Structure formats: C-alpha cells, structure tokens
C-alpha cells in the first residue's frame, strides 16, 4: 500500500476511471495526464497529499516519466481542475447554447512545472517514503561505478579467509544486542549481489556508529567467519568508511581539466578543508590532493598543487569542481 492513501481515496480513483465518480460528467477510461486525473477524481477524497504520495511511488510513470515535474505540478493541476469545474458550473447556470465555450476560460491543459530530474538516490528515497521499500532500482547502483574501482569484489564473491577483506554496500537493519562481553552492533550490508550480516563491538565502533544509517553507503574491512545459525558467512568489522572517507583513503588525487581562467582552489579548500585526524604518529590530514590538467591548443600540462591543497571529497565539493572543470571533467584517480 502507498503510505498516505486510504481505501476511500483508492475507491474514488477507481470510480473516476470507471466513469461513475463524483465528476462523472468528465467521462471514464484511462487517465490521460495529471491534469485529467485532477479534473476527474473527487478532489475532496483524493487530496493533493494523496497525489503526491502516488507520484513518489511511481503511479503516474506511464503518463509522464519525470516524477520531479509531476510532483512540482500537483498544486497547479488541482488549481486548474478547480477553475475548470467553476467554469462548467457557471456555464450550466447561464446556458447560451454554446456549451459554455464562449464564457469559460480555455480548457487547454497547462505545461508541467519545470523541475530538475531526480537522481537515482532521490527517486528511490521517495519510493521508500511512499512504499516502505525501493521498487524501481537498488541504491547501490548510484555508487557502483565509482566504488568498484577500489572494491572490485562483490559480497557474493567473499571467501572464508583469514586475511582481512574489503566489501561495500548499503546499510540496513541496524540493531544493538547485549552480550556477556558487552554490547554488539549488528547490521546488514547489501550490494545487490547478496546481503551480509556484519557485527562489531559497540565500544570499538565508537563515534563511527553515526555512519551506520539506513540506506547509507559504506566501505568495510573485516574478516569472515562461518555463520553457524543461518549458513553462509558472517563478517566481523575491523574498519569502516563512509564514501567521502573512502575516497580520501583509497583515492590518489583529483584530476581537474581546465581550459582558461583561474580555478576556485581557495574557495574549495575553505569550504571543504582536509580533516585533521589524530593517530599514533600524531595528527594527519585526510583528503585528496588536486592535479590541474591545463589544455592550450595542442599541448597539455598537469600541475600538482601539492599536499597543502588537500580537500575533503564530499559530493558537494566534487560537484563544485565539476561545475568549473572543462567539460565537467573532475575525476578521482584511484589506480
């Protein structure tokens, strides 16, 4: 069931489609557009919040593929439908034999409101909010191309080895279990090939517990052991990174193509500076260095900005680099 929709709303939608709803004068049959839907349904029983939930769930995909535009247009569609209903009522009161065509405003449906398309994470996030699960894809697909450059092994390919192994996936089902030795944090990671249960001592996890959010992507290093209860393997966590930290740890540098002008290096470093992390050997700066690839006619030069130009490679910082890079080419080099 779609959250936010009740049986009454569904019955009203079915009635409108079959042509005997509250606005049966509009006819029946499949809905032709969001505006046709708003015009034909009982708008008291099918309010805007219901329609927004249906859009997020993908119920209108057959009418229009861009859910972001549909969601932005729900208010417009209902306002337009109310105007059409008011014009029809006025035409019925003052019937001059022209079917109301000379006295109402135009019945032309307006264009959908412009809105930037949702990326995969946004689309699946809205689906989960509406349905309770992801329907049209897997969250890992949004990150697969990048993380497979430094974690090539799928979870389904894990072997029972003594050596630490790297995996990556989407977090789910996080819980804390008391044991005789202390509290154990248990969660599931899923990369689309397999779901794997991971466990770690809560005290050892420390502040990184905050990284274990439902639907977050993480990179993990740990050791496998046989799962005596359910068969297969379990994973004992040794080290954990979120995606920006994994980029900083496994990446070598960010390559930025530039053609002319001065890139905003200072702005990026000020907004997203490298992070200082204490360690056994003292404090270290974690982040990626930057190499500018300058193109002048037939020549290309690469300039390494050095260790002082490290920045924290979060999505926002990378997005800023892609805005100013030639052709949007700002790429993390992992090899």
Q: How many residues does the chain have?
A: 335
* Residue 152: per-residue pLDDT: 95
Token pair of 102 as six digits? 């000379």
Residue 193 has pLDDT above 80, yes or no: yes
Place of tokens 């006819």: 27
3 state SS for the chain: CCCCCCHHHHHHHHHHHHCCCCCHHHCCCCCCCHHHHHHHCCCCCCCHHHHHHHHHHCCCCCCCCCHHHHHHHHHHHHHHHHHHHHHHHHHHHCCCCCCCCCCCCCCCCCCCCCCCCCCHHHHHHHHHHHHCCCCCCCHHHHCHHHHCCCCCCCHHHCCCCCCCEEEEEEEEEEEEEEECCEEEEEEEEECCCCEEEEEEEHHHHHHHHHHCCCCCEEEEEEEEEECCCCCCEEEEEEEEEEHHHHHHHHCCEEEEEECCCCCCHHHHHHHCECEEECCCCCCEEECEEEEEEEEECCEEEEEECCHHHCECCCHHHHHHHHHHCHHHCEEEECC
Token pair of 282 as six digits? 């003292």
The model's pTM is 0.80
Place of tokens 């505006």: 35
User: Mind listing the pLDDT tens digit for each residue in 75-84?
Assistant: 999 999 999 8
User: Mind listing the pLDDT tens digit for each residue in 48-66?
Assistant: 999 999 999 999 999 998 9
> What distance lies between CA 56 and its chain's CA centroid?
12
* Residue 104: per-residue pLDDT: 45
pLDDT confidence bin for 154, thresholds 50/70/90: very high
> Mean pLDDT score of the chain, rounded to an integer?
88
pLDDT confidence bin for 92, thresholds 50/70/90: low
User: Mind listing the pLDDT tens digit for each residue in 249-297?
Assistant: 999 999 999 886 778 889 999 999 999 877 666 678 899 999 999 877 7
**Phi/psi at 299 (nearest 5 deg)?**
-105, 150
Distance separating alpha carbons of residues 55 and 170, to the nearest angstrom: 25
| Residue with more model confidence, 228 or 16 | 16
* Residue 26: per-residue pLDDT: 64
Residue 102 has pLDDT above 50, yes or no: no
Longest dimension (CA), the chain: 91
* Mean pLDDT value of segment 160-168: 92
* Residue 270: per-residue pLDDT: 94
Task: Report helix angle 120-131 to 67-93, nearest 10.
Answer: 60
Q: Taking a C-beta distance cutoff of 8 angstroms, is the pair 308, 246 a contact?
A: no
Share of the chain above pLDDT 90, in %: 66
Residue 23 has pLDDT above 70, yes or no: no
* Residue 116: per-residue pLDDT: 94
Taking residue 4's Cβ as centre, other Cβ atoms within 10 Å add up to 17
Task: Report helix angle 120-131 to 48-57, nearest 10.
Answer: 120
Share of the chain above pLDDT 70, in %: 91
Report which of 52, 58, 213 is spatially closest to residue 127, judged by C-alpha positions.
58
Distance separating alpha carbons of residues 85 and 42, to the nearest angstrom: 11
Distances (CA, A) of 179 to 127, 183, 186, 201, 245: 36, 6, 12, 10, 30
User: Mind listing the pLDDT tens digit for each residue in 132-151?
Assistant: 888 889 999 999 999 999 99
Distance separating alpha carbons of residues 58 and 71, to the nearest angstrom: 11
Sketch out the chain's domains with CATH numbers: 7-131 (no CATH), 144-245 (2.40.50.140), 251-333 (no CATH)
* Residue 327: per-residue pLDDT: 85
Token pair of 223 as six digits? 């050791």
| Residue with more model confidence, 27 or 165 | 165
Residue 156 has pLDDT above 70, yes or no: yes
* Residue 97: per-residue pLDDT: 53
């Amino acid at each position: 069931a779609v959250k936010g929709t009740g049986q009454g709303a569904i019955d009203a939608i079915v009635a409108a489609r079959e042509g005997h709803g509250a606005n049966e004068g509009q006819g029946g049959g499949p809905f032709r557009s969001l505006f046709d839907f708003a015009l034909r349904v009982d708008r008291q029983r099918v309010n805007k919040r219901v329609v927004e939930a249906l859009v997020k769930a993908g119920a209108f995909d057959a009418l229009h593929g861009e859910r972001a535009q549909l969601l932005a247009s729900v208010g417009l569609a209902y306002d337009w439908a109310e105007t059409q209903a008011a014009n029809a009522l006025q035409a019925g009161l003052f019937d001059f034999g022209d079917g109301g065509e000379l006295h109402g405003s135009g019945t032309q449906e307006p264009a959908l409101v412009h809105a930037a398309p949702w990326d995969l994470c946004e689309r699946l996030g809205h689906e989960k909010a509406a349905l309770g699960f992801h329907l049209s894809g897997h969250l890992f697909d949004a990150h697969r191309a990048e993380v497979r450059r430094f974690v090539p092994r799928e979870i389904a390919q894990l072997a029972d080895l003594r050596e630490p192994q790297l995996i990556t996936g989407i977090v789910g089902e996080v819980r804390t279990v008391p044991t005789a030795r202390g509290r154990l944090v248990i969660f599931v990671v899923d990369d689309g090939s397999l779901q794997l249960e991971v466990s770690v001592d809560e005290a050892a996890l420390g502040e990184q517990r905050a990284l274990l959010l439902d639907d977050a992507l993480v990179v993990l290093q740990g050791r496998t052991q046989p799962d005596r209860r359910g068969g297969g393997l379990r994973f004992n966590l040794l080290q954990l990174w979120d995606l920006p930290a994994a980029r900083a740890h496994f990446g070598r540098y960010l390559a930025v193509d530039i053609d002319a002008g001065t890139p905003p290096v200072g702005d990026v470093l000020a907004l997203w500076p490298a992070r200082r992390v204490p360690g056994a050997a003292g404090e270290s700066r974690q982040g990626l260095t930057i190499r500018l690839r300058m193109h002048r006619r037939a020549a290309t030069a690469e300039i390494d900005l050095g260790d002082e130009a490290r920045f924290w490679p979060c999505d926002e910082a990378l997005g800023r680099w892609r805005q100013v890079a030639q052709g949007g080419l700002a790429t993390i080099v992992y090899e």
